[in-house]
Amino acid sequence: MPEIAINLEGQNGLNWPRWKRIAAAVEDLGYAALTRSDHFTNPNPPDMDSLELWVSLTWLADNTKRIEFGPLVSPVSFRHPAMTARMATAVDDLSGGRLVLGVGAGWQVREHHNFSYDLLDVPQRMARFEEGLSIIHHLLKKDEPLDYPGQYYQMHEAVILPRPQRPGGTRLLVGGNGPTRTLPLTATYADEWNGVFLPASRYAELSTLLDSLLRERGREPASVRRSLMTGIVFGRTAQEVEARLQDRDRGELRARGILVGTADEIADQVAELDAAGVQRLMLQWLDQDDIEGLEILARRLIG
């Protein structure tokens, strides 16, 4: 069975009491990791509490002992890649090497408009992301100073000191399902690929494509961990599942890769993902106050 992790939407009501409570539960119940989004707002009102990403991860590094953690994902549109790399190195070292740095291009229009960040159109956004990812990779993984004459970023003899304590540097994650841009960038730079809301069959297809892209670059497929972040509609009973579906079609949700059911039904669906090559499954846990649900799932999926 894949490792089971919990993913939170940080803009969806996350504050210090909830963060501390969930972190303790994830650590104590045996989950492999705790990840969270990096957003200011949801795509639509109403706005809710939104705990700042790197402040929360710094606290987590010093207040947990076992779990891996990180952003899923942090957009380069919010922070200069050199600053992201510098913070990631420090937090990874503080945690004893448990950070997985997920980075992305950015996508949500509303928060970029509200806080005056340039989102750019999609081609420019992806070009900026590729530059940022290349810079972050070098600063984390290579000791020699970086000169980088990019369109969006320029580096001049840039190096981060102290160097990361973890052999090979802080682990990098690239998330997304795009076969023409995202997967090639993953094959070039990432230590982990994170698929997003995929059924088992499609995940297996993209993972096979990633294998080929890695071999083209002289990398072993096994060198890149395979994870999946997807939604979950979980109920303690069949009746509770139906209530939480709220008239949504179960078949349509399953076709989008969302897990639906009681703990036993979820376990069967996780087994399908295991067969498709998912090594770590990140469950999007929307009810941040449902600690009992985390306990029930942990007993069934982790043991």
pLDDT digits (tens, 9 = 90+) for 204-226: 999 999 999 999 999 999 999 99
134-164 residue pLDDT tens: 999 999 999 999 999 999 999 999 999 999 9
Find all residues with CB under 8 Å of 71, minimum gap 6, and list them. Answer: 35, 36, 37, 38, 53, 57, 101, 102, 103
* Per-domain residue ranges of the chain: 3-301
- Percent of the chain at pLDDT above 90? 99
pLDDT above 90 (res 303)? no
Positive or negative torsion for Cα 291, 296, 301, 303: positive
DSSP character for 99? B
> What confidence score (pLDDT) does residue 247 get?
87
- Across the chain, mean pLDDT equals 97
What percent of the chain is modeled with pLDDT above 70? 100
pLDDT 10s digits, 23-82: 999 999 999 999 999 999 999 999 999 999 999 999 999 999 999 999 999 999 999 999
C-beta separation of 18 from 289 below 8 A: yes
Whole-structure pTM value: 0.96
Burial class (CB in 10 A: 0-12, 13-18, 19+), 127: middle
Distance CA 171, CA 88 (A): 10
Q: What is the pLDDT of residue 133?
A: 98
Identify the pLDDT of residue 100: 98
Q: What is the pLDDT of residue 229?
A: 98
The phi and psi torsions of 270 (rounded to 5 degrees) equal -65, -35
Domain covering 3-301 assigned CATH 3.30.70.100 in the classification:
no
* DSSP characters over 20-38: HHHHHHHHHHT-SEEEE--
User: Is residue 131 pLDDT above 90, yes or no?
Assistant: yes
Contact 17, 25 (CB under 8 A): no
What pLDDT digit, counting tens, does each position of 280-296 carry? 999 999 999 999 999 99
pLDDT at 118: 97
Is residue 50 within 8 A of residue 10, CB to CB? The reply is yes
